[in-house]
Amino acid sequence: MENKYLEKSLFIFFSIIPLSIILGPAISLINILIVNVLFLFFLYIFKDFRFLNNKIVIFLFILNIYLIFNSVISIDPMIGIKRNLGFLRFILLFIAFNYFFYSSKDPKKIFLWWFIILLIFTLDVYIEFITGSNILGFGDKKKFFPRIVSFFKDEPIAGAYVLGFFLIIIGYLFDNFDKKNNLNKFIIYFLSFLFLFSIIVTGERSNAIKAMGTFIVFFSINHFVKIKAKFLFAVIFVTLISFTFIYSDFLKYRFNKSFLKLFTSKEKIITIYEKSIYAALYKVGYQVFKKYPYFGVGNKNFRVETCNSLGGSYVWDSTEPDITYLYQLCSTHPHQIYFEFLAEHGIVGTIILLSILFFLIFRLLKIIIISKNYLQLGCLLYLIFVFTPLLPGGSFFNDFNATIFWINFSLLYASNKETNIFN
């Protein structure tokens, strides 16, 4: 009876993970900690510790040890120590996901609840896109125009949220796709486009590019989708994109101002790029890396170094061109994953981080292709596109981004019996 209660409790808290992220970092953290505590209680009851010998878990603990070391050598150790020690919760979450999928009779039922949450969120994005505010009245265009905030109220991260979950849901819907009737298949195709375009209409350009990239790859190698259907998808995709941009001043502003300008301006592309805010941030990230080339300034210490530089404590290399957007120098992170790694972890730390992460992600590529597990494929594509060069993004170790990343990473292993660490 006690075991059934624990299993039901785990199911509930796994099911509300996407909702907890919407409700805020504190709620998301509490939810993950509850999952971890319940899982540890399972371990206490069953005394099943064989996962400690699993090389994936060992690599994750090595990663955690490195992050703690990174805090010790940081320019301000106290700034990043909580974040680096807190990485342990993602290791436990990874193990808990694997154990839940290993021991539960029907673990994928949690995706039904994830689907409902994501669908409601997506429809809310469209409501805000059309009316200017979401169903709760959030959406201050004076502050965020022209970005969609939806239920996040004061943070324009709606596109990043949908991007983190939509391929998980689409992969889940493709389970037993060949056994579904034509109406069900049409609904799956419709939902795929619904989720994709919700990311585009948020106005988050980088996430829109990543979403379109993952979408194209997912359906290009999907054996359920025949060649005729793929061609039809391409026509529908181009048509919808065209009409959306023609009739939306909102998206014209967001995308014409940046990407389309590269193809219509008489200026050289490199000149346009160098004038952008992100180019300024990347330059700052590179300058910090040059000053701390081996181990960087430390996780979460980029803001310390760059804000101090504005106070005159850091003299920039005179050989570098002037940076136009000086107000951007004092920033929390460089807004690009590779510059973030280099600035905060140096060349040694970057090699450690990328070597472990790439090894753990890409080692499953052959298994995923052979098994045709599309839930796994969706997670794999999300993880790969996180590391897209040059495109800006949020901080890799930020609570919001880290939670979504490690959820996808956990499901990458847990959702397939061949790769689940308890098998």
Distance CA 181, CA 350 (A): 48
Q: Which of 217-226, 236-245, 267-276 comes out lowest in average pLDDT? A: 267-276
Find the distance separating the first CA and the last CA of the chain, reported in whole Å: 25
Is residue 350 scored above 70 in pLDDT?
yes
DSSP notation for 25-39: HHHHHHHHHHHHHHH
Decide if pLDDT at 234 tops 90.
no
Residue with tokens 């807004």: 335
The residue among 35 and 52 whose pLDDT is bigger is 35
Residue type (1 letter), 90? F
The H or E element containing residue 129 is: helix 110-131
Residue 106 pLDDT level (bands cut at 50, 70, 90): confident
How many angstroms separate the CA atoms of 36 and 155, rounded?
Answer: 27
Say what the pLDDT of residue 248 is: 66
Q: CA-to-CA distance for 31 and 250, rounded, in angstroms?
A: 36
Burial of 410 (0-12, 13-18, 19+ CB in 10 A): buried
Over residues 133-155, the pLDDT tens digits come to 888 888 766 555 567 888 998 88
Neighbour count for residue 322 (Cβ, 10 Å):
9
Q: pLDDT per residue over 215-233, tens digit each?
A: 999 998 888 888 887 888 7
Note the pLDDT of residue 407: 97
What's the predicted TM-score (pTM) here? 0.88
**Angle between the N-to-C axes of helices 277-291 and 337-362, in degrees from 0 to 180, rounded to the nearest 10:** 80
Amino acid at 60: L
384-388 — which CB contacts under 8 Å span 24+ positions?
385/210, 385/213, 385/214, 386/210, 386/337, 387/337, 387/338, 387/354, 387/358, 388/209, 388/210, 388/213
Q: Which helix (H) or strand (E) holds 236?
A: helix 227-247
Average pLDDT, the chain: 84
Quote the percentage of the chain above a pLDDT of 90. 44
Higher pLDDT, 196 or 176: 196
Q: What is the DSSP string of 308-372?
A: HHHTTSSPPPTTSPPPS-GGGTS-SS-SSHHHHHHHHHHHHHHHHHHHHHHHHHHTTHHHHHHHT
**282 falls in which pLDDT band (50, 70, 90)?**
confident
**Residue range 366-384: mean pLDDT, rounded:** 93
Reply yes or no: is the peptide bond before residue 146 cis, omega within 30 of 0. yes
- Mind listing the pLDDT tens digit for each residue in 379-417? 999 999 999 988 888 889 999 999 999 999 999 999 999
Count CB-CB contacts under 10 A for residue 269.
Answer: 11
Residue 100: pLDDT over 80: yes
Cβ–Cβ < 8 Å for 134, 124: yes
**Can you read off the two tokens belonging to residue 322?**
């002037």
pLDDT at residue 354, as a whole number: 96
Q: CB-based burial of residue 31 (10 Å sphere; 0-12 exposed, 13-18 middle, 19+ buried)? A: buried
43: DSSP letter: H
**What pLDDT band is residue 276 in, cutting at 50, 70 and 90?**
low
Rounded to the nearest angstrom, the gap between the alpha carbon of residue 21 and the centroid of all alpha carbons in its chain is 12
